[in-house]
Amino acid sequence: MARDPKYDVLFEQVQIGPKTLKNRFYQVPHCIGAGSEKPGMQAYHRGIKAEGGWAALCTEYCSIHPESDDTSRLSARIWDEGDVRNLAAMCDRLHEFGALAGIELWYGGPHAPCMETRHNPRGPSQIASDYELNIFPRYMDADDIATVHQMYVDAAVRAREAGFDIVYVYGAHAYLPFQFLSPYYNRRTDEYGGSFENRARFWREALYKVREAVGDDCAIASRFAVDHLMGPVSIEAQKDGARFVEYADDLVDLWDFTVGDIAEWGQNAGPSRFFEENHEKPYSGTIKPGNHTNKPVVGVGRVTNPDTMVAIVRSGQFDLIGAARPSISDPFLPKKIEEGRFDDIRECIGCNQCISRWEIGGPPLVCTQNATAGEEYRRGWHPEKFHPAANREKSVLVVGAGPAGMECAMVLGKRQMEAVHLVEAEREIGGCVNWISLLGHSDGRPNLHRGTARGLGEWKRIVNYRQIQLDKLRNVEIHTGSRLSAEDVRNYGAEIVIVATGCHYATDGLNAATHAPIPGADTSLDWQMTPDEVALGSKEVGRRVLVLENEGYFMGASIAQKLAGEGREVTLVTQAKEIAGYMEYTLEAPMLHRDLHRLHVDMHVYTMIERIEPGVCHAYNVWDPEHKHEFEVDSVVLCTARLSNQELYREVKADKGRLDQEGIEAVYVIGDASAPRMIVDSIFDGHRLAREIDSPHPEMPLPFIRERRLWGEASNEDYLRQLANTADVALV
């Protein structure tokens, strides 16, 4: 189908300095866990997006020198010829698809702990990082400033050699250039501190020198947090923010605007539970309309709706539609808009699982919606291309249409298996997502900072996307409202049976902290309940509620938020050092804590429940079990262990004779039914099995390419040979 003329504006060319962007889709710099150490992943992850129509793709932040070392987190680096060689692989790949390659030159100052290099970062003033623990920068004198400027120049020259078209001086997220600009970091009294012009000097000089060095060949970009969101103590969009843009406008070919800093960069990469699409508009979206720049501007805001994109361009908010997360979730977003395939767009749900892995310290990125993210090279998976399965004549029954089952059936369908039946016990497909997506709300009032607890409604996109895709697949039938027994499964007539029956919450308080049930815990009682019972409203909750949060992710905190938002007195207890620890990694924690605090949720960390009695929970401090505490409550919610619903799998598998008799050749178990896990991993599990359904032992994942240094002689041919052996060769 031809493109709707309404979207033509998104496909106009844009000139940035000496380079031309073929359209307005721009992947801003974002981490993936590849850096310069995994050149294959770097080249193929970005390359798939280039194939999908993006006009430019950038590296993640790229260190310009060993004294800007972010270990344990993983950045790219352009320190030497080896890095040039590895990053050139990405540039070459992008150029094959007519896309431009961008590099984000980064010097972190005190936010770079240098745990690998053991250098000492320099900074404008000797104030410890508000992000790292106990990292102090060395005060930069005039010589230091010249030295660091030369680091930018040397890195830019190497970047040009690698083939980059766009060279950034990265000053967002409170890294070094911003530290000079912001009085919050910069307490200097020399010509680099004090007045606006003095604070802006370091950045201007860096831009000037980089431009002098490579500006004839490369577009010069700068990423700038136009508002630190800290008020008058730092940069505000309508004051020094707009002023700096005007001040440095002559030195850039492209502005990349963000908000906030690194310590709470969830204000920029806003999770959907607090921020909606295009949420940065009140800050970064005001600069261009305010006539503060004559240069093209790119900005972000997890924009997945083509109409929002058109509105952004038409209103002059941005010239380019910047995307990190939407490009991970759907590398083919531009192509799908161009071809009018709107219902094929796999929209980002804003869960920030992608970011969590970088926060953890650099494992490959993951994506809830796009199981192929990060697997493009090492497993050879392509998000839009699927090889017909070698055993496609086998009929498949998938039992359970939760995240794992939906994904598995969808990929089996796309691999052209001739007959796939996805059978679900409930009325609707979606499994746990159907009730989880009801969570995340409190009372709907504005939070203490920006955004509100708007909830996990967008997570429902997990179901929506798969429902639409499954409906299109003529070889996949979905049957709902049908709970299959083991005998039903045996008689179903499938040659391959895949069990994806999910999991349930422990009813007796079994938990990871004590490895035992909690005496007195029993959710068959009307005043004790599991999280799903709260979400679905199937039990009456009393005025005073204790929520026991042993899981460490969103569940306990979300239940507490909901119940407190409804006006109850909520006590939230965890054995861990913090509530919902994983939400630190997904950047949801700061806003969550603001909401819990605002709602007067009474939180107790390092605390575990040892006994539950009617009206009272007996607790103790995990470091001092003799330190007891009693909580008087009316209801108790147990977010304790989850247990696989694996009876069906066990029962079907047990009778080998019957399996033979009924012609069932294989029985697999995936997702939570195999072992409880996060949704992102359930979807991966379902996808993985379907991608490898024709491998010799589908239950065992095939090996993937490990990008590591091979001792002695090694060449790219080693890797390419391995790639050719994977189940699904996308791009060889």
- For binding to other proteins (CB under 8 A), which residues are involved? 1, 4, 6, 272, 276, 305-307, 340, 342-343, 395, 397, 419, 421, 428, 434, 437-438, 440-441, 444, 454-458, 460-461, 464-465, 467-468, 474, 477, 479, 481-482, 491-494
The nearer residue to other proteins, 89 or 310, going by C-beta atoms, is 310
The nearer residue to other proteins, 428 or 630, going by C-beta atoms, is 428
Q: Return d(Cα 327, Cα 324) in angstroms, integer.
A: 5
Name the burial class of residue 700, with classes exposed (0-12), middle (13-18) and buried (19+) by CB atoms within 10 angstroms of its CB. exposed
Sign of CA dihedral 628, 630, 631, 637: positive
> What DSSP designation does 4 have?
P
Smallest distance from the beta carbon of 596 to other proteins, in angstroms?
A: 18
The nearer residue to other proteins, 198 or 395, going by C-beta atoms, is 395
End-to-end CA distance of the chain: 28
The nearer residue to other proteins, 103 or 499, going by C-beta atoms, is 499
The nearer residue to other proteins, 45 or 346, going by C-beta atoms, is 346
CA-based nearest residue to 640, from 506, 504, 533, 439: 506
Strand segments, DSSP code E, in 501-568 are: 503-505, 528-529, 544-549
Smallest distance from the beta carbon of 307 to other proteins, in angstroms?
A: 5
Residues 6+ apart with CB under 8 A from 537: none
**Backbone phi, psi, residue 124, to 5°:** -65, -35
Q: Return d(Cα 306, Cα 24) in angstroms, integer.
A: 12
CA-based nearest residue to 68, from 115, 131, 124, 128: 115
Smallest distance from the beta carbon of 520 to other proteins, in angstroms?
A: 33
Residues 6+ apart with CB under 8 A from 661: none
Peptide bond into 72 cis (omega under 30): yes
Q: Return d(Cα 652, Cα 646) in angstroms, integer.
A: 10
Residues 6+ apart with CB under 8 A from 30: 58, 60, 324, 325, 327, 328, 354
Catalytic residue among 131, 152, 168, 175: 175
Smallest distance from the beta carbon of 337 to other proteins, in angstroms?
A: 9
Using CA atoms, how far residue 574 sits from 243, 358, 553, 609, 627, in Å, is 47, 25, 11, 9, 15
Smallest distance from the beta carbon of 428 to other proteins, in angstroms?
A: 8
* Contact assessment for residue 341 and residue 380, using Cβ atoms and an 8 Å cutoff: no
Element holding 687 (H helix, E strand): helix 679-691
Smallest distance from the beta carbon of 321 to other proteins, in angstroms?
A: 15
The nearer residue to other proteins, 144 or 477, going by C-beta atoms, is 477
The nearer residue to other proteins, 191 or 428, going by C-beta atoms, is 428
Smallest distance from the beta carbon of 461 to other proteins, in angstroms?
A: 7
The nearer residue to other proteins, 276 or 359, going by C-beta atoms, is 276
CA-based nearest residue to 54, from 277, 295, 323, 368: 323
The separation between CA 542 and the C-alpha centre of its own chain, rounded to angstroms, equals 36
Note if 184 is an active site residue: no
The residue whose two tokens read 């690194």 is 262
The nearer residue to other proteins, 72 or 482, going by C-beta atoms, is 482
* Contact assessment for residue 120 and residue 180, using Cβ atoms and an 8 Å cutoff: no
Smallest distance from the beta carbon of 306 to other proteins, in angstroms?
A: 6
Smallest distance from the beta carbon of 149 to other proteins, in angstroms?
A: 46
Smallest distance from the beta carbon of 343 to other proteins, in angstroms?
A: 5
* Contact assessment for residue 245 and residue 278, using Cβ atoms and an 8 Å cutoff: no
> What DSSP designation does 457 have?
G
State the angle between helix axes of 554-565 and 589-598 in degrees (0 to 180), rounded to the nearest 10. Answer: 30
Q: Return d(Cα 310, Cα 327) in angstroms, integer.
A: 17
Q: Return d(Cα 600, Cα 593) in angstroms, integer.
A: 10
The nearer residue to other proteins, 87 or 303, going by C-beta atoms, is 303
* Contact assessment for residue 496 and residue 397, using Cβ atoms and an 8 Å cutoff: yes
The set of catalytic residues is 175
